Chains A and B, each alone.
Chain A
Amino acid sequence: MTVNSDRSDVVLDIERLRTRIETPRGVVHPVNDVSLQCRRGRTLAVVGESGSGKSMTFMSVLGLLPAGGTIESGTVRYQDREIDPTDKKAARQLRGKAIGIIFQDALAGLNPSFTVGQQIADVVRHHEGVSRAKAKEKAIETLGLVGIPNPRERADYYPHQLSGGMRQRVMIAMGVALRPQVLVADEPTTALDVTVQAQIMELLDGLRRELGMSLVIITHDLGVVARYAEEVAVMYGGRVVEHGEARQVLKNTVHPYTEALLRSSPRPDADVGELSPIPGQPPNLLAVPSGCSFHPRCHRANGRPECSRDIPLLRSLSPESQLTACHHAEEMALQKVSK
């Protein structure tokens, strides 16, 4: 099931991906039957809480699963070529060159004992096998691309000589040094101040346009989704529960979890009155609730038997482009209309 049947601009196609991780306490499936498409020049946001599988989906694709993790089923296609992320060599080829990734903690991603220019140049040399001088030039060019002033001089700085926002820019430079087709940003702004957050998001958005990349933002911030994403997939307990055009999903929600998320967060621009918290905890992957994994926390489930019995399939509701995995989505949509 896909949001958009036009496949001409799909760069990365993840289909029915299921990942398993063997932990000392049992087997978990952090990614369960997930299908997502990344399109050229477009932004996809993947939203969810911890344990929802939002990061694990892309870690699986990039062959970066923790020890004991494997892909159980599903396919990953990059530009119409099927790839096997469990093949270490293929995955390494894919990382950086085809798919760039930016992690949350900018300081942890940089080596303190090398200059930032050298670290970017290493990436270039490893993948493109060019001379040191050429790699350095490319590094400087990329630092300029991500908006670092005086890139030639800054390339010789060590990470500790740069501010938090600048380090995050260096991380982004490493992610785009090879001009990938897809850029995955995993919580790119979570640890940053609002003002720096805005700068970083504007930068990522600009790079997407300039380089024609497909941008994937993994986030929990619905404000970021509202501003930057064209398409959004909401994940819960390892599955996509709602998927569609960002405006539709935020304004015309047809899954109770998305609805509850929106109702439980305060807004910076308005007084929301009383918050309606979602009761309980995000699901424990070792003991995922039966049926719909959201049912113990869902105000619409209300003891209805199908919710705790059958896993709801992701299906389309009119408008065609919006998908939901809720037994009672029609009811939700109708209530919205009558309101």
Chain B
Amino acid sequence: MVAETVEPTTAAPYIAGDEAVLRVENLTKHFVKKRLGRPTTAVKAVSDVSFDLAPGETLGLVGESGCGKTTLSRLILRLIEPTSGRVIVEGKDVTRLSKRQLREFRQRVQVVFQDPYASLDPRQRVAASVAEPLTNSKLSSDEKLRIVHETLERMGLQRAQARLFPHQFSGGQRQRIGIARALSVTPKVLLLDEPVSALDVSIQAQVLKLLQELRDEYRLSYILISHDLSVVRHVSDRVMVMYLGRVVEMAPKEELYTAPRHPYTASLLSAAPVPDPDVERTRERIQLLGDPPNPASPPPGCAFHRRCFQAELVAQKLGDSEVTVLEDGRRVPRTCAEKQPVLVTQDATKHWSACHFPLSREAVATVTA
């Protein structure tokens, strides 16, 4: 198979224009594996990802493990350097910042991690942890303490608890401390990396509600990374679906959940169990075959074609010359097996998808009903 080169997309799913608090342009990260000092294979962790974030918006990011969610978030925080592409925060290109300027940027984009047990220093009092992002500010220690107290109180904790150590708190409280730490420098963007996955169900709702209130109070924009489709639906305004390092679909929440165009999105939605026995036991499910492919050797063409139900359906109507037969005997359209689909919008809406044969509304109704 001839390796094809894909031009970076020129059109991208931007919605905010100059207003954007964060804009990611054609961001790509390839990790090069070295054996005996020589580069051998490149893992394309993130390929040509573009999106922006409007003020006050929550963008949900979903995908299976290995899809590049974590690499993308580390690129946005500039914890690692991109292979190519840019990250622009409030009009400034942060991929070219000097160390000094980077400090300032770090105050604009903060992160809340998944595991509240691992993300706080066990030997540091809570006050010190929460004040840590303020280290480079020119505030006096009294002012810092005031900010710590106010932020903790807003999170529903008590002033006096600032003197305690992390082990003296429950998981939910620790997550509140993690959020307080991120907010102490009044950032613009909060990157929430699985913020409630480690919490008990009854505590999840408390933290989700708090996050929604804080977004309005602090005028924040969120990027929410989660594997829980219910949480993403509840919190997000727009949702971006990634598969093997690429964005395969992006749309306003309501659109994406009710009328997905990419078969992968439809498969994900269909796999999420619904807590209602009447709904759950009558609906048909799309069973995704196999595991996600290895990002070190992605299949040619559309990375999803070997697991795709839509490709099989489409191939039934095609002649032999237009069909490729896979190793397991399944037939898929030749285009899917050979040509990488580009992220496009069909009708100048905010709904973007990267599929050669996107699902129609009617088709979605038959596979998910």
Contact = CB atoms under 8 A, between A and B. Distances in A.
B233 to A, nearest CB: 6
A287 interface: no
B274 A268 contact: yes
Contacts of B65: 164, 193
Given A194-B268, A267-B230, A246 B277 contact: yes
B18 interface: no
Contacts of A196: 64, 291
A268 B272 contact: yes
Contacts, number: 131
A267 B200 contact: no
Contact of A226 (B202, B274, B291): B274
Contacts of B203: 277, 281-282
Interface stretch (A63-71, A151-159, A197-205, A317-325): A197-205
Given A193-B227, A194-B272, A267-B230, A277 B281 contact: no
Contacts of A269: 257, 272, 274, 276, 279
Contacts of A275: 205, 208-209, 234
Nearest to A222: B275
B126 to A, nearest CB: 17
Given A198-B288, A275-B209, A226 B272 contact: no
Contacts of B172: 281
A45 to B, nearest CB: 11
A236 to B, nearest CB: 10
Interface residues of B, number: 39
A148 to B, nearest CB: 12
A296 B158 CA distance: 20
B299 to A, nearest CB: 15
A175 to B, nearest CB: 21
A199 B202 contact: no
A268 B253 CA distance: 11
B287 A264 contact: no
A272 B64 CA distance: 25
A223 B205 CA distance: 16
Contacts of A221: 273
Interface string A198-225: 1101100000000000000000111111
A79 interface: no
Interface residues of A, number: 47
B280 A220 contact: no
A268 B276 contact: no
Contact of A224 (B230, B267, B273, B292): B273
Interface in A264-305: 264-269, 271-272, 274-279, 281-282, 297
Q: Which of B172, B267, B277 counts the most chain A CB atoms within 10 A? A: B277
Contacts of B230: 265-268
B170 interface: yes
A144 B206 CA distance: 44
A49 B275 contact: no
Interface in A165-179: 165-166
A265 B233 CA distance: 11
Interface string B272-303: 11111111110001011001100000000000
Interface in A222-275: 222-227, 246-247, 250-251, 260-262, 264-269, 271-272, 274-275
A163 interface: yes
A260 B204 CA distance: 13
Nearest to B203: A281
A39 B271 CA distance: 27
A247 B282 CA distance: 13
A71 to B, nearest CB: 26
Given A194-B227, A202-B287, A226-B280, A49 B274 contact: no
Interface of B: 64-65, 170, 172, 200-206, 208-209, 227, 229-231, 233-234, 257, 267-269, 271-281, 285, 287-288, 291-292
Given A198-B271, A268-B233, 20 more contacts: A164-B65, A194-B227, A194-B272, A195-B271, A196-B291, A197-B271, A199-B288, A226-B275, A227-B274, A260-B202, A264-B202, A265-B204, A265-B230, A266-B234, A268-B269, A269-B272, A269-B274, A269-B276, A275-B205, A277-B209
